[in-house]
């Protein structure tokens, strides 16, 4: 199984409704595509001050590399990516097994 980890540092002034709306769009997409094993995401809950400004994120599990590729190339994903680009200052993407 692959884990697709994405962390966001939003642009100053990004409304919480927009950041939570983006995470909801990713969650909705993950629930309708084949090869997805699970989704977890939201705001950072830690009080250890180690997030380096990354306040929100998500993890999606995929069956295999082909499932991740299908997700990354899906038109709905590409629309969410454009929405993210308008609101994100920094993004970290990390894929692992």
Q: Which residues pair with 88 in a beta bridge?
A: 10
Count of positions (residues) in the chain: 97
Q: Is the dihedral of CA 43, 49, 51, 18 positive or negative?
A: positive
Residue boundaries of the structural domains of the chain: 2-96
CA distance readout (Å), 87 to 10, 37, 59, 62, 91: 6, 27, 19, 26, 10
Is there a contact between 84 and 8 (Cβ–Cβ < 8 Å)? yes
Residue-level pLDDT, tens digit, the chain, 97 residues? 999 999 999 999 999 999 999 999 999 999 999 999 999 999 999 999 999 999 999 999 999 999 999 999 999 999 999 999 999 999 999 999 9
Indicate whether this model's pTM tops 0.75: yes
Domain 2-96 has CATH 3.30.70.100: yes
């Amino acid at each position: 199984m692959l884990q697709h980890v994405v962390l966001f540092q939003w642009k100053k002034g990004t409304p919480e409704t927009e950041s939570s709306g983006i995470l909801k769009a990713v969650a909705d997409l993950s629930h309708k595509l084949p090869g997805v094993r699970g989704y977890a995401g939201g705001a950072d809950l830690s009080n250890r001050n180690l997030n380096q400004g990354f306040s929100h994120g998500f993890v999606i599990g995929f069956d295999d590399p082909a499932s991740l590729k299908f997700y990354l190339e899906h038109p709905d994903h590409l629309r969410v990516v454009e929405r993210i680009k308008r609101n994100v200052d920094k993004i970290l993407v990390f894929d692992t097994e």
